[in-house]
Amino acid sequence: MAVKQQLFGELAKIAQAMASPQRLELLDYLAQAERSVEALSGLAGLSLANTSKHLQVLKQAALVVMRKKGTQRLYYIASDEVVMLINHLRKVAEAQVEEVNHLIESYIIKDERVAPMANEELSEWMELGDTLILDIRPEEEYLQGHIMGAINVPPETMQQKLVQLKSMSKETLIVTYCRGPYCLFAHEAVQALQENGLNARRLQAGFPEWKAAGLPIYSKLDEEI
């Protein structure tokens, strides 16, 4: 077999590993935080056996890595390049597949008063100061890694946090973010903030995309591995 064909064969292995909605969902969870098979099984609604099989496929394609911690086997995303690959897949689908946009329109909240913010714009605001960044993800994901300076407001605590934020200056920009473009946590949070008269916007991407872009983060995982 010619070398070029062998190269395309290796690329095809990665494409085949990703050709499963269940495996794409597992990658989405692992882009947020490392997790055990049991945790992923609960999140994805899959049996332990099926979850383990999917993870082995992803591991063989070098999309995820496994490490041992005591008696646990923990999985995490192999690199930022994997996050970028999924992000490019999403962009191609949105640009080329009409059904994808129909699904997004039926799923994503559309009544935000201000357009979402790109990574570069938030980076500029962070340098200027007077910006409060809210990470609207579960605490487990926040603790393993988050945008530098962000504070954690899990979805179930948002209403309580609103009481504290109402006294903030209207000049302070509040930016929410969560897992990624298809995560509703940040959409719901920014809507609640805007309805309470606060100057709020949503980050268009999520934490994995911010990290993959090489922008400032805090990562507990980097310290442990």
Residues classed as catalytic: 178
Pairing state between β 173-177 and 217-219: unpaired
Residue 98 dihedral angles phi and psi, to the nearest 5°:
-60, -40
Residue whose entry in the numeric block shows the structure tokens 């268009």:
204
**Is the four-CA dihedral 100, 106, 111, 116 of positive or negative sign?**
negative
Cα gap 50→34, rounded to integer Å = 18
21-32 vs 37-44: helix axis angle to the nearest 10? Answer: 120
Contact yes or no for 112/194 (Cβ under 8 A)? yes
Contact yes or no for 75/39 (Cβ under 8 A)? no
Output b/e per residue, 78-103; b: 16+ Cβ within 10 A: beeebbebbbeebeeeeeeeeeeeee
Cα gap 126→149, rounded to integer Å = 9
